[in-house]
Amino acid sequence: MTDLIIKLKTEIKRLFNENIVDVVIAFKKEDSPLRPQPAFFRPNDSLEDLEYNSLCQNNLANYLTKYPHETRIGIVVRGCESRSVNALVVEKQHPRENLYLIGVPCQGIVDFRKLVYQTGEEISGYSENQDEITVIFKGKEYKFDRQSVLHDSCFRCVHPNPVNADVLIGEPLPEGDSSIVRKSVESFEALTKEERYAWFRHEAERCIHCYACREACPMCYCTECFVDHDPPRWTESSVSPAGTQAWHIIRAFHQAGRCTSCGACERACPMDIKMTYMTDKLNEDMLKLYNFESGMDDKTQPPFSSFNLDDKNRFVA
């Protein structure tokens, strides 16, 4: 058990003892070490199973919108999760005074697919340190460099430290390099129009419309999604080229100015479809056009809900 988990446990116990929160959202151990699951601890629950490591795939901010506004929620947040929480607070999905953010600086989430591709499915043990990941597969130890197995969106992460956290556990990490995101968007833009469309089509056509990306995304909290809307039918929701492409384009577009690049959508996808290349582009545009980065505070409205007359210079009449 690492130092960090002990500190987390004492902090959560303190929160319950001082009656600050009603529920704490964190991760717990599961049968497979590859998949720690989100868990919801109530005051008298045992914290025995609490887990925190780089294999925690979900974005916990996803569960905020499932609780009524009166519930006082404590939540373990990494950099991207804290920004998702802020973005949700801006959109009035939960009052900030009923939230208690336990911040943990994040070294990046390990993509379990990258591990499994190199070893095999039945991984029985996992441990990690600062820059090395060790997994046990069929009784044999395999060591990986942390950077080589990070999830793509964590590799590009710019803000690993929680923003606006009430308490920070662990030492803050240095900020990431924003030019890495630029590079990946740039290399995609450098392709010709046909190549870009071919890439998009290749990614979209594998979609099976399970909507796991939607369920994993903290910002997708609409009670009725546009694909489920009927009637009027907004788009084909069958597994046809028209339906899958419309889903991928509009899903990404609904994230414009709201996405925090956590990459939970990609990690949730059973077909391993890349999606962040679109949201990265949208995020970059939002930064360029409106100087806005999602979730950096809990006051600023996202660009699409804060339009003003200064825009009129861009009306080409």
Partner 1 sequence: MELAATSGSVNLMETKPKIALFQCQWCLYSESDQYWVDNNLPPSIHLTKVSCTGRIDPLHILNAIQGGADGIMISGCLPEKCHFKEGNLSALRQHEEFINLLDYIGYERERIRFVWLDLQDRGRIQQELADFEVTLTKLGSENALVTRIETPVGRLND
In the complex with partner 1, the residue whose CB is nearer, 41 or 277, is 277
Smaller CB distance to partner 1: residue 155 or 247? 247
- CA–CA separation, 133 vs 110, rounded Å? 9
Residue range at the interface with partner 1 (CB under 8 A); choices 116-124, 125-133, 170-178, 239-247:
239-247
How many alpha carbons lie under 13 Å from residue 33 in its C-beta half-sphere? 17
Which one among 92, 143, 299, 312 touches partner 1, defined by CB under 8 A?
312
CB count in 10 Å sphere of residue 162: 27
Q: State the Cα–Cα distance between residues 118 and 133, nearest whole angstrom.
A: 13
Strand 23-28 to 73-77 pairing: parallel
Choosing from 7, 29, 35, 281, the residue that interacts with partner 1 (CB under 8 A) is 281
List the one residue out of 234, 242, 170 whose CA is nearest residue 209.
242
Q: State yes or no: residue 246 binds partner 1 (CB under 8 A).
A: yes
Distance CA(51)–CA(132), nearest Å, equals 18
Q: Which is nearer to partner 1, 13 or 202 (CB)?
A: 202
Cβ within 8 Å of residue 30, ≥6 positions away? 36, 37
Q: Does 138 bind partner 1 (CB under 8 A)?
A: no
Among 63, 67, 188, 221, binds partner 1 (CB under 8 A): 188
d(CA 211, CA 268): 9
Which x/- pattern over 215-234 shows residues binding partner 1 (rule: CB under 8 A)?
A: -----------x-------x
Q: Which residues bind partner 1 (CB under 8 A)?
A: 188-189, 193-200, 226, 234-236, 240-242, 245-246, 249-250, 252-253, 256, 278, 281-282, 285-286, 289, 303-304, 307-309, 311-312, 314-317
